[in-house]
A and B are shown apart, each in its own frame.
Chain A
Amino acid sequence: MSTAVVTVNRSLFPRLNLRQKTLLIIGFTSLLLLAIVVSSLFVDGDSLPTDFSSRNLAPSFEHPFGTDWMGRDMFTRTLEGLGLSIVIGAFASLISAVLTVILGLLSSAGKAADSFVSWLVDLSLSIPHLLLIILISIGLGGGAAGVITGVALTHWTSLTRVVRAEIKQLKAQEYIHISRNLGKSKWWIATKHILPHLIPQIILGTILLFPHAILHEASVTFLGFGLSPHEPAIGIILSESMRYLSAGYWWLAFFPGLSLLIVVLAFDMIGENLGKLMDPKNAHE
């Protein structure tokens, strides 16, 4: 889907072939995301002085994203929020991926286990995701733990479906039949034959889970069920900005949301391009 980006690069780097460009895109976006996380770690709450003489300033060179009603620099707050979003997204996606591996391998164990897994998938798809995250978050008393668990427990379904289909296809392969006839145990086949095939899929799937995880975290926090109002999360910043909308302080909402969009797009881009590299069907393009 990122051909638009690739074409831009075509004119910028005429000497590189597509594979090198893809690698370049991955490198750049990863660097950008890494820079956001690292810089958000160095910027802590102390560097956000509440300066009432410079409150509600429109964007300028000194404050690129403007300042809020307490005179805090919105750029710093946004940076912190993005770092937080990425970290939470990482936790949630990783937990989701672990769940996927467990359930995927379980579904290959037998017919009953398989129908149990597909029943679980159907079940968690039957309630709107947002509502389920809200419920889980309430159940765990909100906060970071609530959001991470909520997002992790709702996002494994799509990846599990992919993994299940992949396992089904693998199990029909001849070398697995041969292995079985040679008397290898189920566990041996699962770890030595099936798992290696799944690893690229799972890594890719985990990266592609990121955007959804980040967006859902921000949404739930925005509604008031997620991180506590003291955290500098993007959802909190945006829900605070709603109070100042009619006053015309558009920068309070515009820039933080736009930055979130860019981060999400960057993850999408990494995922897509990695997929291109890993999928042998596309390798000739």
Chain B
Amino acid sequence: MSDNAKISGFIGKKVLRLISLLLVVSFVSFMLVQYSPIDPVRAYLGEMSVSAEHKAKLEEYWGVNTPPKEKFLNWAGSLLKGDFGDSLIYRMPVTDVIKERFTASLALMASSWLISGVLGFILGIASGMYKGTLFDRAIKTYCYVLTATPTFWLALVLLMVFSVQLGWFPIGLSVPIGVTAENVTFFDRIEHLILPALTLSILGVAQIAMFTREKLIEVMSSDYVLFAKARGEKGLDLVLRHGIRNVALPAITLQFLSFSELFGGTVLVEQVFSYPGIGQATVAAGLRSDVPLLLGVVLVSAVFVFSGNLIADIIYEFIDPRMKQQESTT
């Protein structure tokens, strides 16, 4: 197969995949929300009491009495035109809400994704190099404990230590309260970003470090490393030349596959730090039955996770030379 045919086949397959995925996801999530026994108007009002007249008006606004089939067709129809509908709680188009919120979250996710990736990789390499030593055991225990740590609890502890007790960081939000948008400095944003990003980074390190460690140990016990050792290579040079090259690609792939957990972690962390990102919007939409916004977030997150998986696939199919070799031998 020529390269061009392979690439176009790959793209075609992925596009079909994405379309079928979005169709099923939108249908299933719509049905779940539609047939929920939770009364959306009640959920919106909370404990407030209102007149019957007002309630009827709200019910109409929420579309409670529209038949489900008609509702789905309306929603899906406008979705095809790129219109996600209007958010009921923010009272503006869902696309605007998501765009605004997602940008805020993206800063958080990207920074913690990078930090945890780089740090985890370095820790994994170091602990694999010194396998069996006290340092290796310390790293292993650290990772082991971290995988068992509830994300939101770590966020709470960091918040208590650094914001409440030490007062180094603000308690929440992405910008200071009572400052107009123009006066928010870049530094302010960074200051509000540090703790949430730190929480996600600390937790993200565990998986990638353990994986890198295992891989490195596997590589270091291979024949070509034994041969390199026989040639007189040793120490860091050996690891740099033979280890890292072989470990880096699978590790990067794994990091791209973690988009789904990254999103979940962001939702929890944003809730604790009241960081106005996509996660907080999701929780608000869910708790107060903002169906258009919730469905919009679900679709966007599906695309987000899909793109992470896609990049991982691309690395596998086109960048990793071993894959090509395997194909030609079979």
How many angstroms from the CA of A142 to the CA of B36 in the assembled complex? 9
Query: With an 8 A cutoff between CB atoms, is B38 at the interface?
Result: yes
Bitwise, B11-54 to A at CB < 8 A (1) or not (0) is: 00000000001001100010111011110000000000000000
A253 touches B153 (CB 8 A): yes
B33 touches A222 (CB 8 A): no
Total A-B Cβ pairs within 8 A: 145
Name the distance in Å between A242's Cβ and chain B's nearest Cβ: 7
B282 touches A222 (CB 8 A): no
Closest A residue to B149 using CB positions: A261
Q: In the complex, which residues of chain A have a beta carbon less than 8 angstroms from the beta carbon of B144?
A: 1-2, 4, 265, 268
Q: In the complex, which residues of chain B have a beta carbon less than 8 angstroms from the beta carbon of A139?
A: 31-33, 35-36
Closest B residue to A211 using CB positions: B148
Query: With an 8 A cutoff between CB atoms, is A17 at the interface?
Result: no
Q: In the complex, which residues of chain A have a beta carbon less than 8 angstroms from the beta carbon of B309?
A: 126
B36 touches A141 (CB 8 A): yes
B149 touches A129 (CB 8 A): no
Q: Which of B156, B171, B268 has the most CB of A within 10 A?
A: B156
A257 and B32 contact, Cβ closer than 8 Å, known pairs A4-B141, A126-B21: no
Query: With an 8 A cutoff between CB atoms, is B286 at the interface?
Result: yes
Q: In the complex, which residues of chain B have a beta carbon less than 8 angstroms from the beta carbon of A236?
A: none
Name the distance in Å between A271's Cβ and chain B's nearest Cβ: 11
How many residues of chain B have a CB within 8 Å of chain A?
Answer: 52
Name the distance in Å between B169's Cβ and chain A's nearest Cβ: 13
B164 touches A223 (CB 8 A): no
A257 touches B156 (CB 8 A): yes
Query: With an 8 A cutoff between CB atoms, is B234 at the interface?
Result: no
Query: With an 8 A cutoff between CB atoms, is B105 at the interface?
Result: no
How many angstroms from the CA of A125 to the CA of B36 in the assembled complex? 23
Query: With an 8 A cutoff between CB atoms, is B264 at the interface?
Result: yes
Query: With an 8 A cutoff between CB atoms, is B127 at the interface?
Result: no
Interface-forming stretch among A86-94, A181-189, A243-251?
Answer: A243-251
How many angstroms from the CA of A222 to the CA of B263 in the assembled complex? 16
A141 touches B153 (CB 8 A): no
Query: With an 8 A cutoff between CB atoms, is B129 at the interface?
Result: no
Q: In the complex, which residues of chain B have a beta carbon less than 8 angstroms from the beta carbon of A135?
A: 29, 32-33, 294, 298
Closest A residue to B283 using CB positions: A223
Name the distance in Å between A272's Cβ and chain B's nearest Cβ: 9
Name the distance in Å between B39's Cβ and chain A's nearest Cβ: 10
Q: In the complex, which residues of chain B have a beta carbon less than 8 angstroms from the beta carbon of A131?
A: 263-264, 267, 282, 297-298, 301
How many angstroms from the CA of A58 to the CA of B93 in the assembled complex? 48
Query: With an 8 A cutoff between CB atoms, is A148 at the interface?
Result: no
Bitwise, A242-285 to B at CB < 8 A (1) or not (0) is: 10011010100110011011001100100000000000000000
The contact of A138 among B36, B149, B159, B268, by CB within 8 Å, is B36
How many angstroms from the CA of A129 to the CA of B145 in the assembled complex? 21
Closest B residue to A241 using CB positions: B156
A128 touches B156 (CB 8 A): no
Query: With an 8 A cutoff between CB atoms, is A219 at the interface?
Result: yes
Q: In the complex, which residues of chain A have a beta carbon less than 8 angstroms from the beta carbon of B32?
A: 135-136, 138-139
How many angstroms from the CA of A141 to the CA of B34 in the assembled complex? 11
**Besides A126-B306, A128-B301, 20 other CB < 8 A contacts?**
A1-B140, A125-B260, A126-B21, A126-B309, A128-B263, A129-B264, A131-B301, A138-B32, A138-B33, A140-B36, A141-B37, A211-B148, A218-B150, A222-B268, A223-B283, A238-B153, A250-B165, A253-B156, A253-B157, A265-B144
- Chain B residues in the interface with A (C-beta under 8 A): 21, 24-25, 29, 31-33, 35-38, 137, 140-141, 144-145, 147-153, 156-157, 159-160, 164-165, 171, 210, 259-261, 263-264, 267-268, 271-272, 282-283, 286-287, 294, 297-298, 301-302, 305-306, 309
10 contacts between A and B (CB under 8 A): A125-B260, A128-B301, A129-B261, A129-B264, A139-B31, A139-B32, A141-B38, A219-B150, A223-B271, A261-B149
- Chain A residues in the interface with B (C-beta under 8 A): 1-4, 7, 122-123, 125-131, 134-136, 138-142, 211, 215, 218-219, 222-225, 238, 241-242, 245-246, 248, 250, 253-254, 257-258, 260-261, 264-265, 268
Kindly list the 5 A-B residue pairs having the minimum CB-CB distance in the complex, ordered from nearest.
A139-B32, A257-B153, A130-B264, A141-B37, A264-B148
